[in-house]
Chain A
Amino acid sequence: MTTTMLPAKKPADVVPHAVRHGFNWGNFGTGVVMVLIFVWCLAPFYWMMILAFRSNNYTFATDPWFSHVTLENFRYAFNTQYNTFGRSLLNSLIIGGSVTILSMIIGVFAGYALARLVFRGKGFVLAAILGASMFPGVAILTPLFQLFSSFGWLGTFQALILPQISFSLPLAVYTLTSFFADMPWDLEEAARVDGATPGQAFRLVILPLAAPAIFTTAILVFIASWNEFLLSSVLSNGNNKVAPSTVAIAFFTAGPHIVPYTQTMAAGLVVTVPLILVVLLFQRRIVSGLTAGGVKG
């Protein structure tokens, strides 16, 4: 069996679109699975989109395309009587922005030191930072809940921003470390040899090289913060003025006599679309960031 299979398979691997005897089952099978992966990833998202634009009376209609189209769901989600979704989005932006800026400013220095400088105990520092990110959210939640309630901080922005440092800073540091370690630092020296001052070498050579890495890491940190739910749901303490959109979605309030499925989907779409746009725009960078942080084996 193997002898008949091998020669048949080899050209299929070597020549992409083989114009040879008849139909290529290997490529066909791969194509089918590729379509399957595509459907797997997009079908539920597509359904969310359809429901977001569908009139609530037709929540359970099964038409697989846009039907009974309305914008009413979006108006309901942003309606201030039941839901203040615009506010929640702004809160997510404030929290995510603050967490990202803070983590990046502090993380860049640590990442540079870990990637570039020689000192004792580097392995230990890396392990400690990685270990810090492995604590489950609940391990820090209990004391913080008590501490913040004694400060009167429950339901304030600082109570939502500070705890997120626990996962965003390690993420920033180890993604930056692996990016920085792969950068061609010899160029810096080359610039110095060519007569550049340290400042010029940094500004003209290192910064342009490091900028994409820093930018990608910032995107990953922002997405992680935007998606956070456990800490925010408890520490926002029911205060809609500071709660981020993930919390608003989870506790989406029904009007008097409806199941607010279509409205929730509209809200969900609004939360998701910015992320989808970021992913579409920076796809390559995000993938390189994800694989740099996790899988460098």
Chain B
Amino acid sequence: MTLAGPVEEEVVEQQGGGRKSRKAAEAAAKRGGIRPGEARLAFTLIAPTIILLAVVVGYPVVKAIYQSFLTDPGLDQATGLFNEGNAWNGITNYTHWLLQRCATGPDTTAACPKGTLGSQFWGSVGVTVGFTVVSVALETVIGMCFALMMNRAFRGRALVRVAVLIPWAIPTAVTSKLWQVIFDPEGIFNKLLGAHFAWTSSVWPARSAIIIADVWKTTPFIALLILAGLQGIPEETYEAAKIDGANAWRRFTSVTLPLVKPALAVAVIFRTLDVLRMYDLPKILTGGSNGTTTMSILVVDQLTSGINSASALSTITFIFIFIIAFAMVRIFNANIIGAQAKGVR
């Protein structure tokens, strides 16, 4: 791709500039001694961030992992007495969720009865993954269409760019309430369709409602991110492709897509992580009922009925999300850290 030329040159030039200033810094270092202190200075400046994150993220996560191997307080099945809990429990909390086995006696377990939280684990995984796949796919495809049109349009682009930020800016809690009103059996959605769906009180309509609300809120945002990628493609690239006889579809698949792919990959990965931890929208729109309990909702529901078991579940949830994130970074070959660090070093 000839296109990469000027862009790369620019980067090199920037880096060159950085190197030049570094040389100057070294020269200054010989005089005043800035250079040897630079790493120490960097450490001092970054330390508060690292310490604070260790307190609010590191410590809770490690503590949750530790607790996930302890028993919860409750009635001891063997003695019938109240058990204080927090005794070593091995991986029982994990098998409880992963195999959906509930304790029935001292050493016996059975499949968790329907309706208990334990019986809902794999259901919630399915719901979460389903929401993720459908929402992200729709958001990407529609967002791409929006972005292509916004990139083409000459008139009204400024206006649309403002409009696009509005669904993004509305808090999800408000969005959820708004769509709850829209999806009421008597609400405007049914009136427009001329139908009488009970959107939030049966399984598939409830799931569709959540996906519609999520796609509405996030598609414009994705479009904005893709548009930023599109605007980095110089017009000459398209001209060259046209002269070579490529039709509109060929230009899209062979020029636009490969060049916008880095931006697209990062957007898709971040969105996927977001939907995998989805909580607000189903919690408020449907209360997690009718087959809309996501993994995050299940953790919060478990919170009041056994914190150590909830810790096992939250640990499973974040490991699950990390595995998917890792796999996606591999599949898209996306350089997320690189995207952040570009021009930094």
Residues of chain A having any CB pair with chain B under 8 Å: 1-2, 5-6, 9-10, 13, 16-17, 27, 30-31, 33-34, 37-38, 40-42, 44-45, 47-48, 51, 59-60, 62, 106-107, 109-110, 112-115, 117-120, 122-123, 125-130, 132, 134-147, 162-163, 165-166, 169-170, 173-174, 177-178, 181-182, 185-186, 189, 223, 226-227, 229-230, 233-234, 245-247, 249-250, 252, 261, 264-265, 268, 271-272, 275-276, 278-280, 283, 286-287, 290-291, 294-297
Contact = CB atoms under 8 A, between A and B. Distances in A.
B318 A136 contact: yes
Given A48-B178, A114-B344, A144 B162 contact: no
A109 to B, nearest CB: 4
Interface residues of B, number: 116
Interface stretch (B60-68, B94-102, B133-141): B60-68
Interface stretch (B75-83, B106-114, B149-157, B200-208): B149-157
Interface in B17-55: 17, 20-22, 24, 38-39, 41-43, 45-46, 48-50, 52-53
Contacts of B242: 6, 10
Contact of B303 (A60, A141, A294): A141
A138 B247 CA distance: 49
Contacts of A223: 169
A132 B60 contact: no
Contacts of A114: 46, 344
A174 B49 CA distance: 12
A250 B177 contact: yes
B46 A110 contact: yes
Contacts of B181: 48, 51, 261, 264-265
Nearest to B58: A132
Contact of A138 (B177, B179, B279): B279
A278 B169 CA distance: 9
A213 B154 CA distance: 28
Given A136-B296, A294-B270, A297-B229, A37 B339 contact: no
Interface string B291-314: 000011001100100010011001
B60 A144 contact: yes
A258 to B, nearest CB: 13
Contacts of A40: 216, 219-220
A130 B49 contact: no
Given A62-B191, A137-B296, A279-B162, A249 B174 contact: yes
Contact of B279 (A47, A229, A283): A229
A91 B191 CA distance: 37
Given A31-B156, A283-B162, A296 B42 contact: no
Interface of B: 17, 20-22, 24, 38-39, 41-43, 45-46, 48-50, 52-53, 56-61, 63-64, 67, 145-146, 149-150, 152-157, 159-167, 169-174, 176-179, 181-182, 184, 186-188, 191, 216, 219-221, 223-225, 228-229, 238, 242, 245, 247-248, 261-263, 265-267, 270, 273, 276-277, 279-280, 283-284, 295-296, 299-300, 303, 307, 310-311, 314-315, 317-318, 321-322, 325, 334-337, 339-345
A158 to B, nearest CB: 12
Contact of B162 (A142, A178, A229, A280): A280
A184 to B, nearest CB: 9
Given A140-B64, A291-B225, 19 more contacts: A60-B187, A110-B45, A113-B46, A130-B337, A132-B58, A136-B276, A136-B277, A138-B299, A141-B299, A143-B59, A145-B303, A146-B67, A227-B171, A229-B280, A234-B303, A264-B177, A279-B162, A287-B224, A294-B270
Contacts of A279: 162, 165-166, 169
B65 to A, nearest CB: 9
B246 to A, nearest CB: 9
A106 B49 contact: yes
A30 B219 CA distance: 18
Contacts of A128: 50, 53
Contact of A178 (B20, B61, B295, B340): B340
Contacts of A1: 247
A248 to B, nearest CB: 9
Among B157, B277, B321, B334, which residue has the most Cβ atoms of chain A within 10 A? Answer: B277
Nearest to B341: A126
A29 to B, nearest CB: 8
25 contacts: A17-B154, A33-B149, A38-B160, A107-B49, A109-B45, A109-B46, A114-B344, A130-B340, A140-B56, A141-B314, A142-B299, A143-B59, A145-B303, A174-B340, A227-B172, A229-B171, A229-B173, A230-B279, A250-B173, A250-B176, A252-B177, A272-B171, A279-B165, A297-B265, A297-B335
A126 B277 contact: no
B53 A226 contact: no
B66 to A, nearest CB: 9
B228 A34 contact: no
Nearest to A284: B161
B266 A297 contact: yes
A62 B287 CA distance: 26
Nearest to B217: A44
B46 A169 contact: no
A186 B173 CA distance: 45
B148 to A, nearest CB: 9
Contacts of A296: 339-340, 342-343
A258 B145 CA distance: 42
